[in-house]
Structure 1
């Protein structure tokens, strides 16, 4: 949206001398938890087959993006 400000918070950790983002929360949405939950759900659907879950992860993310875009378009 034009000029809309959203609160963002993040946590970082220092690993091997470099700072890495550990988690991001945007407007109250915990991105790390969101991905963990999506991954756990996909693992369950794939009967805990890690290789199958990783191989299909791009599709899971693409579907999530499509859903978010559709919801955003519906909110306008």
Structure 2
């Protein structure tokens, strides 16, 4: 008999970071007081930035392109 194994795909690191950001936003919504709200909001921003950077490190988004202006000759 063959054992049934569902296809399990591990979460990407960036998705885990985004989940953390979402949790922080939920905590911010329930925060009592402005200092706690700001703290959780900043934490959410930090997790989101980490997720974007991880996507870049994983090659899912291209690096920033730098445009060099060309000299226009008249």
Q: Given the two structures, how large is their TM-score scaled by the length of structure 1? A: 0.34
Give the structure, 1 or 2, with the largest relative contact order (CA under 8 Å, sep 6 or more): 2
Larger radius of gyration: 2
- Whichever structure has more strand as a proportion of its residues is 1
